[in-house]
Amino acid sequence: MIVWALAVLIAAAFTHGQAGEMPAGDPVRGETIYHKCQGCHSIDRNRVGPKHMGLFGRKAGSLPDFNYSEAMKNSGIVWSEQTLDAFLADPRAMVPGTKMTYAGVKNAQDRADLIAYLKEATKE
């Protein structure tokens, strides 16, 4: 009986993960993970990479004062939790030809934390 209950729990946890849902993010942890991005990005000014202020709901490659790759400008992406999760997991797979030469954040929990931080920090 206990074994059966455990099996159901594990199956439920598994299908939950499979549904493409992201783990809950911790913005405090996310702020530390953002340090990896700050080699190129800042929230409020363009550097090697575009600023992140106002990111959510913004069309990818749309800041008028940043020189994006054609790949990013033509990607048709609008930034949301889901599109950021996919992009940050593997930037060059989602936007082939992007100028963002960064391998990506492989850990799903790290991405969720980072996105939770960005949601707060990029609010205009």
- Smallest gap, in angstroms, from Cβ of residue 39 to ligand HEC? 5
Rounded to an integer, what is the distance from CA 121 to the centroid of its chain?
Answer: 14
Is 82 near ligand HEC (CB under 6 A)? no
Ramachandran quadrant class, 116 (left: phi over 0; alpha: psi -120 to 50; beta: rest): alpha
Say how many residues make up the chain: 124
Answer for the pair 122, 34: CB distance below 8 angstroms, yes or no. no
* Nearer residue to ligand HEC within complex by CB, 72 or 112: 72
To ligand HEC, the closest distance from the beta carbon of 112 in angstroms equals 12
Q: Which of 25, 85, 94, 105 binds ligand HEC (CB under 6 A)?
A: 105
Question: In angstroms, rounded to a whole number, what is the distance separating the alpha carbons of residues 119 and 108?
Answer: 16
Is 32 within 8 Å of 110 (Cβ atoms)? no
Rank residues 112 and 114 by Cβ distance to ligand HEC and give the closer one.
Answer: 114
Interface ranges with ligand HEC (CB under 6 A): 36-37, 39-41, 48-50, 55, 60-61, 63, 68-69, 71-72, 79, 88, 98-102, 105, 114
